Structure 1
């Protein structure tokens, strides 16, 4: 398997998790990476103390790693939650409280891609009510991202692992992207194309790439089955990334896979030397 002409970053919320958060950027740098991404690191709060934000920025700077992707507050992730912005009440309020915190941190670190997970369906709540709330919150997030020169990402997840999450296909996520851009007038909402999630949904990955490459703002990969490193499953990831490049995608490719039974530092032997 050959991977050439790709810009890979490491997701520090799924790799190097055997280390404390502030030690992970240096570990990624030691493994040869100059760029990293993160889910929202403070699961319990959308508004961590400024001292903790500053400490994470210092860890990134000291390691010489660029933060290229960051999630907005998404509830208990990892865990049962898949975002907060479409859930009425306290969780939506927490998402809104998080918007400027994320945007300001992105500005301080130079991060240009901010991912807003849609959130699960809530039993007893009209899906139309959730969808209206989601668009309202996504427009707010798009405006905050635009303020700091970033794109807002909308991600499709996979139904087997996220059965209550409504965006479980590329067209469903693209529909939300288009609606946010129409309502905001900014055009900075983009698709987060995760090849693992889309493969779990049984989508034609080549067709997705050809159809939506121009609306894609970030890419993430893991092999399937198993969500392991490339080469541990059956996905032709090198070919798919080559197809993405030919379709015009020149952005980062996030490594969002599980290292398996080995230390994270040993989970990159598939990369070209």
Structure 2
């Protein structure tokens, strides 16, 4: 219920993704709504889906809303096109979208730094008809290296995320090994060792992966975790995932970072969608 402590539950630290929860409110009101629900940390997809370089007044207004709410920004996506939607990232797309991603790198890093955010997520991007996948992969690595260096300059990590094939059939990173393979390539190319795996348990479950095995194998390379129940991408308890067991396994495997709530609230107000968080 509103006002109860939600950011910590048992040994877990939760933040709220304001790009999928509290969307019944204007963006400027969502940080305060998260705080009223008992959270002191939030994360965001890139909020300006049509602009990798919004005006300073827009950046300042969102920064002020977060600061005034007294919440911490724990994670931010680089520009990734229209989310939720068909784009699924921009950094591996030849031409204009890749250029938009590059234009966004320093803007996103600067905004993150101004709020003490230390995790930047770079969505890989879909395969494009008529373009050699190897060409896209080479472009992706080039842009991820730029992003990793920008993240390093502000003391942040770069996150690489696997999505799920049923919902994102053109996205090439649809398994934990595929995403971690890119993490390893970025770290080898930069020598910075600041690229990490974003372990989204919903996406991995939708791919049919063995979640306990993924946790055991990749917890040490994981920089952030996101959850939603599966099927349906709803709140914990609306599907069949044993989220409490999985998060306890993550903790025992050494992960002690933030867990992002990235689920749909359903028909009810978002403030009522936190009643069954894992303890």
Band the TM-score falls in, shorter-chain normalisation: over 0.9
- Corresponding residue number in structure 1 for 2:55: 49
Cα deviation 1:110-161 (Å, max 9, x = unaligned):
0000000000000000000000000000000000000000000000000000
- Corresponding residue number in structure 2 for 1:227: 233
CA shift for structure 1 position 240: 0.2
Number of residue pairs matched? 271
- C-alpha separation between the residues in 2 aligned to 1:169 and 1:114? 20
Selected match of 2:121 from 115, 121, 132: 115
- C-alpha separation between the residues in 2 aligned to 1:44 and 1:100? 17
- C-alpha separation between the residues in 2 aligned to 1:149 and 1:178? 19
1:127-166 equivalences under 5 Å are 127-166=133-172
CA shift for structure 1 position 84: 0.2
- C-alpha separation between the residues in 1 aligned to 2:115 and 2:30? 16
Root-mean-square deviation (Å)? 0.9
- C-alpha separation between the residues in 1 aligned to 2:119 and 2:227? 16
- C-alpha separation between the residues in 2 aligned to 1:116 and 1:40? 10
- C-alpha separation between the residues in 2 aligned to 1:93 and 1:258? 31
1:264 aligns with 2:275: no
- Corresponding residue number in structure 2 for 1:20: 26
- C-alpha separation between the residues in 2 aligned to 1:234 and 1:108? 39
1:189 aligns with 2:195: yes
- C-alpha separation between the residues in 1 aligned to 2:81 and 2:69? 28
Selected match of 1:170 from 169, 172, 176: 176
Selected match of 1:88 from 94, 99, 124: 94
Unaligned runs of 5+ in 2: 1-8
1:231-242 equivalences under 5 Å are 231-242=237-248
- C-alpha separation between the residues in 2 aligned to 1:271 and 1:141? 33
CA shift for structure 1 position 79: 1.4
Cα deviation 1:167-189 (Å, max 9, x = unaligned):
00000000000000000010000
CA shift for structure 1 position 271: 3.2
SS at match of 1:213: helix
- Corresponding residue number in structure 1 for 2:6: none
Unaligned runs of 5+ in 1: none
Asked if structure 1 preserves the Cα contact closer than 8 Å seen for 2:151 and 2:158, the reply is yes
Cα deviation 1:38-82 (Å, max 9, x = unaligned):
000000000000111111110001000100000000011111100
TM-score, normalization by structure 1? 0.98
Shift >2 Å, 4+ stretches: none
- Corresponding residue number in structure 2 for 1:218: 224
CA shift for structure 1 position 272: 6.9
